Amino acid sequence: MVPRALALIVAWCLLDPSGLVWTHAAAQQVREAELLTTSGEPGRFGGQLTLTQRAEPRTLNPVIAVDSPSREIIRQTVGDLLHINRETQLVEPALARSWTVSPDGRRLVVTLRKGLRFSDGDAFDADDVVFSFQVYLDEKIGSFQRELLHVGGRPIGVRKIDEYTVQFELAEAKAGAERMFDTVAMLPKHLLEAAYAKGQLAETWGLSTDPARVAGLGPFRFKEYVTGQRVVLERNPHYWKRDSKARVLPYLDRLVFLPVANEDAQVLRFRAGEADAIARMNAENFDALAREQAGRGYVMRDLGAGLDYTFLFFNQNDPPATAGVDMPRRLRWFRDTTFRQAVSAAVDREAIARLVYRGRAVPLAGHVPPGNKRWINASLPAPVRSTARAETLLRKAGFRRTGDEPLVDPDGTVVEFSILVASSNTVLRQIATVIQDDLAALGMRVHVVPFEFRAMIDRILNTHDYEAAILALGGGDADPNAELNVWLSSGPQHLWRPAQPHPATAWEAEIDRLMRAQVGMLDVGARKRAYDRVQAIVAEEVPMVFLVSPNVLVGARAGLGNFRPVVLDHHLLWNVEELFWRTGPARSPQ
Amino acid sequence: MTRLRTAAALLAVIYAAAAAAAFLAPYSPTEQNRRFPFAPPMTLRFVDASGRFHVRPFVYSLVPRANTFDVYDEDRTRAHAIRFFVTGARYRFAGLVPSSRHLVGIDGPERLFLMGSDEYGRDVFSRLLHGAGISLGAGLLAAAVAVGLGLVAGGAAGFHGGVVDNAVMRGAELMMAVPSLYLLLAVRAALPLHLEPAETFVLLVTVVGVVGWARPARLVRAVVLSARTRDFVVAARSSGASNTRVLARHVLPETTGVALTQFALLVPQCILAEVTLSFFGLGVSEPVASWGSMLADLQRFHILAAGHWWLFSPGVAILAVFLLYYAITDALHQRLMLRS
């Protein structure tokens, strides 16, 4: 007994804190914690995975990060209590070993795994959970998670029961309440408490922070950041998952993220072997890469219909104060449902799917794409392009056109407006060009205006100084609750008329009623019927002209084990702890 | 001298073609043929499959290959003779005279792709001709603006001297010190992005012209300075001619050589400036064709990878125009040297 304990102590002292040197004793130490066992293929340890990002990250702070590069990196370094398995789309225990829901659906009790540690070795327990939720719900910090942790208009209550048990109280029953906890990162109280007390939490954990002061429960931990060049994450030696052979994950030594601003440059880097995987590329680039995949040692996969949907929508707000004479007239057209239905009837979705996406997209009738098999309203008719029907609808709405002359409204003004698209997104620009031509056949004069993305979002959500725009949404979760912000008339993402104090139209009021009702419905059948009705109203009133849902296209270097990309975000890294290289010494350190 | 004449004649032909683009082009530059994206140029043939010679050239129809996106085969059973003065899309010649006659075309619903088609199935040859109007026209006008401003500024600086001279020359040096490409992008980005196509054209001309006034101004000033002290100018002054008369009748004519040479040198630079702005998406917007926006498609990896070589045609056209302009500039410069 004593010699073994002594050996344990000596070995523990000799343990290399960077995790590169494993001793038998240390492995035994971790085995005493309650680890989660994964079901993937057991793999080889070692190697590095390099990925590219469209922009540089801005912070390592999970509380305030909103931009996708930062969130993509942070996601690999944090853990959540309950996690939605991206493959099965069902909730699984993660940092929590189990959870129970009270019969009235208002109380959730979560039991944590024992013996878990943050990446710096500090113990993880209920205190960290309570602290994390305190930070997320804090009004002064204003984390975007805060909105999602409100039920029935009130923040969820968090109470520590004992060292490994936490109780959550909801103001009212919420369907799928456990899905709320997905990606809510657990924060280390021992590192952040002081900053929080001083009100400086939002400024901590920037990219220049000393890696020793950053810790999380994810498979990797922050190692280095070189401005403009790379972010490097290294294996977390205290990770709480192991494979079926009881070896502690992850297999990879390092994750490297390179900033590459432009999609074509990303494709070239992947092709040259400088990046090991690529996701979210155009169908054209995908086809170009797929043609050569056999000889060049990578594998391209078309995962089929995804959860994203692209759409054209019109400004239905009151005209902004700075508007000239033209815009109020145009906004009157946009508020006419028949006008919007005419535009929807004239758009050639099949041509968009064929020309812009090379057939790797599905035309949409409503906002739920076919990739969302569980929630789509299958009874909605498929969209049929009919210029004749569009012309009939326009005549019914009082618009007139003689021969090849431009279309005029009842007051004799030529129908002319502009469509904003993000200048960095070639796909949406191409869609705009097709739509411009489709509407020219009706006699409408449409201008395509490429705009810088953030300035465009500002115009849409804040100043309302725009006429029409094309955007894409989706990808988060298949569950309807993920899109509450879009469909509630008071929601900040109710794009055509955000943050309404009262619903402006009867049909928006009806959608509000149905969406709020389905949040509390615990019966799946009733929820589906309510959501089907929402989809039918949306397809009828056309607040957005839905276009297509693109397939999810990914690629990776051949020989990546456990590479099972999925349709949900993050397509490649959802199971990063299981990814491994089958052959060779993988890559030498950069 | 003959070199100058030949180059000028060829350029005149190109400009005339650009002006008559609506007639010479078989189709409208914005007409989309969505079943034929990236169609290759059709081969003009005189001998058909059975070996018979036809005086009138013809083309075979293109058929998209099944299960591919942009691969086409010729259908040897369907030949279309090239017809001249066909009726096609309506347009207004010089913006005034409505017409629907086009120089070439073929019968039937099929399209004649002399230089292939782009990703929306738009005829590249038609877009090339219409784009010539935009790019060459903008280049010509912008060069005129630049030389005009240079004449005014340089003339004033050289003639009056002193404070005016100082101010104008320091300003010119500042303009020349800033790299012109970045200056161009910065000025364009500072202006409103949402503009009608006609307004965009005027804006392009103004921006490019204003960025380019410095060098002509310096050269004009040098000529004016030397002309000011010449005998005939002194004689005109002493016989009571006013400043304006001296400037207009005696001094400025001396600058014609320099001004013309500078103009010939600036036009290709201004064409390139417009092409660069459109290449970066800051020039004319969809669906208007300009050589720059046509070349912008080549930034995309898959187009290069797929080998759609006919999309390079605006680049070749620009090269040809530049070579002709440089031949003219060279010849003009030599004449200037010989004269002085």
Running DSSP on this structure, what letter comes out for residue A116?
-
CB contact under 8 A, A423 and B281: yes
Instruction: State chain A's mean pLDDT as an integer.
Output: 87
pLDDT number for residue A38: 86
pLDDT number for residue A23: 43
The answer to whether the beta carbons of residues A211 and A223 sit under 8 Å apart is yes
Q: Which of A326, A416, A433 to mutate to test the interface with B (most CBs of B within 10 A)?
A: A433
pLDDT in tens, A85-95: 888 888 999 99
Phi, psi of A49 (to 5 degrees): -120, 125
Please give the Cα distance from A145 to A170 (Å, whole number).
Answer: 16
CB contact under 8 A, A358 and B69: yes
Mean pLDDT over A270-287 rounds to 90
Q: How confident is the model at residue A26 (pLDDT cuts 50, 70, 90)?
A: very low
pLDDT number for residue A32: 64
pLDDT number for residue B165: 92
Considering only CA atoms, which of A470, A536, A261, A215 is closest in space to residue B286? A470
- The two most distant CA atoms of chain A are separated, in Å, by 99
Please give the Cα distance from A62 to A135 (Å, whole number).
Answer: 11
Residue B30 belongs to a domain: no
Cβ neighbours of B287 in A, within 8 Å: 433, 436-437, 448
Please give the Cα distance from B212 to B252 (Å, whole number).
Answer: 20
Considering only CA atoms, which of A463, A470, A471 is closest in space to residue A439? A470
The answer to whether the beta carbons of residues A480 and A376 sit under 8 Å apart is no
pLDDT in tens, B125-150: 999 999 999 899 888 999 999 999 99
Quick one: closest CA in B to A431, which residue? B120
Please give the Cα distance from A412 to A252 (Å, whole number).
Answer: 67
Q: What is the CATH number of the domain that holds B328?
A: 1.10.3720.10
Quick one: closest CA in B to A269, which residue? B301
pLDDT in tens, A300-351: 999 988 888 999 999 998 888 777 778 888 889 999 999 999 999 999 999 9
Q: Which of A348, A434, A449 sits opposite B193 (nearest CB)?
A: A449
Q: Which of B120, B303, B306 sits opposite A434 (nearest CB)?
A: B120
Phi, psi of A366 (to 5 degrees): -135, -165
Cβ neighbours of A434 in B, within 8 Å: 32, 34, 120
The answer to whether the beta carbons of residues B11 and B324 sit under 8 Å apart is yes
Q: Which of A264, A288, A355 sits opposite B299 (nearest CB)?
A: A264
pLDDT above 90 (res B212): no
CB contact under 8 A, A355 and B194: no
The answer to whether the beta carbons of residues B212 and B143 sit under 8 Å apart is yes
* B101 and B71 in a common domain: yes
Residues whose CB falls within 8 Å of the CB of residue B327, separated by 6 or more in sequence, listed in order: B3, B4, B6, B7
Please give the Cα distance from A80 to A117 (Å, whole number).
Answer: 13
CB contact under 8 A, A440 and B30: yes
pLDDT in tens, A241-260: 999 998 999 999 999 999 98
pLDDT above 50 (res A18): no
CB contact under 8 A, B69 and A451: no
Our CA angle for B217, B220, B224, nearest 5°, is 135
Those of residues 180-219 in B touching chain A at CB distance below 8 A are: 193-194, 196-197
The answer to whether the beta carbons of residues A554 and A572 sit under 8 Å apart is yes
Q: Which of B34, B194, B301 sits opposite A285 (nearest CB)?
A: B301
Share of chain A above pLDDT 90, in %: 53
pLDDT above 60 (res A357): yes
pLDDT in tens, A165-204: 999 999 888 878 888 898 899 999 999 999 999 999 988 9
Cβ neighbours of B299 in A, within 8 Å: 264
How distant, in Å, are the alpha carbons of B7, B131, B275, B300 from that of B295?
25, 11, 8, 10
The answer to whether the beta carbons of residues A148 and A156 sit under 8 Å apart is no
Tokens of B244: 């304006």
Q: Which of B286, B294, B299 to mutate to test the interface with A (most CBs of A within 10 A)?
A: B286
* B230 and B288 in a common domain: yes
Those of residues 57-76 in B touching chain A at CB distance below 8 A are: 69
pLDDT number for residue A183: 87
pLDDT above 70 (res B101): yes
Q: Does the CB of B33 have a partner CB in chain A at under 8 Å?
A: no
pLDDT number for residue A76: 95
Give the number of other Cβ atoms within 10 Å of residue A375's Cβ: 15
Tokens of A516: 């709020």
pLDDT above 60 (res A362): yes
pLDDT number for residue A7: 52
Cβ neighbours of B311 in A, within 8 Å: none
Tokens of B182: 């970045």
CB contact under 8 A, B300 and A426: yes
Please give the Cα distance from A68 to B222 (Å, whole number).
Answer: 57
CA distance A321 to chain B (A): 18
Query: What is A455-511 written as a DSSP string?
Result: HHHHIIIII---SEEEEEE--S-SSGGGGHHHHSTT-TT-TTS-S-SS-SSHHHHHH
Residue B12 belongs to a domain: no
Residue holding tokens 């009100």? Answer: A199
Considering only CA atoms, which of A496, A493, A422, A488 is closest in space to residue A455? A422
* B190 and B86 in a common domain: no
* B47 and B166 in a common domain: no
pLDDT above 90 (res A518): no
For residues B99, B105, B107 and B111, what is the CA-based torsion angle, rounded to 10 degrees? -110
Give the number of other Cβ atoms within 10 Å of residue B11's Cβ: 19
Cβ neighbours of B90 in A, within 8 Å: 404
The answer to whether the beta carbons of residues A437 and B30 sit under 8 Å apart is yes
Residue B295 belongs to a domain: yes
> For residue B333, is the peptide bond before it cis, meaning its omega torsion is within 30 degrees of 0?
no
Residues whose CB falls within 8 Å of the CB of residue A186, separated by 6 or more in sequence, listed in order: A78, A79, A80, A81, A95, A124, A128, A129, A132, A216, A217
pLDDT number for residue B114: 93
pLDDT number for residue A587: 47
pLDDT number for residue A52: 94
Q: Which of A263, A281, A349, A447 to mutate to test the interface with B (most CBs of B within 10 A)?
A: A447
Phi, psi of A470 (to 5 degrees): -120, 130
pLDDT in tens, B70-86: 889 988 888 888 899 98
At which of B82, B112, B142 does a domain end?
Answer: B112
Residue B120 belongs to a domain: no
pLDDT above 50 (res A29): no
Q: Does the CB of B306 have a partner CB in chain A at under 8 Å?
A: yes
pLDDT number for residue A490: 81
Cβ neighbours of A450 in B, within 8 Å: 193, 281, 285
Mean pLDDT over B201-212 rounds to 84
* A29-57 as b/e: b if 16+ CB within 10 A: bbeebebbebebeebeebbbbbbbbbebb
CB contact under 8 A, B287 and A437: yes
Domain count, chain B: 2
Q: Does the CB of B301 have a partner CB in chain A at under 8 Å?
A: yes
How distant, in Å, are the alpha carbons of A174, A176, A178, A179, B29 from that of A105?
7, 10, 10, 13, 62
- The half-sphere exposure of A269 on its side-chain side, counting CA atoms within 13 A, is 22
pLDDT number for residue A79: 94
pLDDT number for residue A27: 47
Residue holding tokens 């309302």? Answer: A464
> For residue B253, is the peptide bond before it cis, meaning its omega torsion is within 30 degrees of 0?
no
Of the ranges B83-97, B193-207, B314-328, the best mean pLDDT one: B314-328
* B138 and B106 in a common domain: no
Residue B118 belongs to a domain: no
Residue B225 belongs to a domain: yes
Q: Which of A260, A263, A264, A452 to mutate to test the interface with B (most CBs of B within 10 A)?
A: A264
At which of B88, B112, B136 does a domain end?
Answer: B112
Instruction: State chain B's mean pLDDT as an integer.
Output: 87
- The half-sphere exposure of A454 on its side-chain side, counting CA atoms within 13 A, is 2
Quick one: closest CA in A to B91, which residue? A404
Interface of A with B (CB under 8 A): 264, 267-268, 282, 284-285, 287-288, 291, 348, 351, 354-355, 358-359, 404, 418, 423, 426, 429-430, 432-434, 436-437, 440, 447-451
The answer to whether the beta carbons of residues B39 and B7 sit under 8 Å apart is no
- Of the listed ranges A175-189, A262-276, A470-484, B266-280, the least confidently predicted one is A470-484
* B161 and B58 in a common domain: no
Mean pLDDT over A126-149 rounds to 88
Considering only CA atoms, which of A396, A440, A417 is closest in space to residue A334? A417
* B162 and B73 in a common domain: no
Please give the Cα distance from A528 to A521 (Å, whole number).
Answer: 10
Considering only CA atoms, which of A290, A357, A12 is closest in space to residue A4? A12
* B135 and B196 in a common domain: yes
Share of chain A above pLDDT 70, in %: 93
pLDDT in tens, B159-202: 888 899 999 999 999 888 888 778 777 777 777 656 677 777 88
Q: How confident is the model at residue A275 (pLDDT cuts 50, 70, 90)?
A: very high
Mean pLDDT over A379-386 rounds to 90
- What ipTM does this complex have? 0.79
At which of B85, B112, B139 does a domain end?
Answer: B112
- Judged by DSSP in three states, A42 sits in coil
Cβ neighbours of B194 in A, within 8 Å: 418, 447, 449
pLDDT number for residue A348: 94
pLDDT above 80 (res B261): yes
Size of the A and B interface in Cβ pairs below 8 Å: 63
Please give the Cα distance from A211 to A222 (Å, whole number).
Answer: 6
Residues whose CB falls within 8 Å of the CB of residue B202, separated by 6 or more in sequence, listed in order: none
Q: Which domains does chain A have, with CATH numbers?
A: 309-548 (3.10.105.10)
Relative to beta strand B45-47, strand B53-64 is antiparallel
B10: left (phi over 0), alpha (psi -120 to 50) or beta: alpha
Q: How confident is the model at residue A10 (pLDDT cuts 50, 70, 90)?
A: low
* B163 and B93 in a common domain: no
Running DSSP on this structure, what letter comes out for residue A535?
H
Please give the Cα distance from B32 to B291 (Å, whole number).
Answer: 18
Q: Does the CB of B92 have a partner CB in chain A at under 8 Å?
A: no
Residue B254 belongs to a domain: yes
The answer to whether the beta carbons of residues B147 and B135 sit under 8 Å apart is no
* B323 and B201 in a common domain: yes
Residue B123 belongs to a domain: no
* B132 and B103 in a common domain: no
- The half-sphere exposure of B223 on its side-chain side, counting CA atoms within 13 A, is 26
Print the domain residue range for B54: 42-112
Cβ neighbours of A354 in B, within 8 Å: 34
* B203 and B99 in a common domain: no
What is the amino acid identity at position A251? Answer: Y
How distant, in Å, are the alpha carbons of A14, A210, A353, A387 from that of A20?
12, 20, 49, 66
pLDDT above 70 (res A475): no
Cα torsion angle, A215, A218, A219, A225, sign? negative
Cβ neighbours of A282 in B, within 8 Å: 302
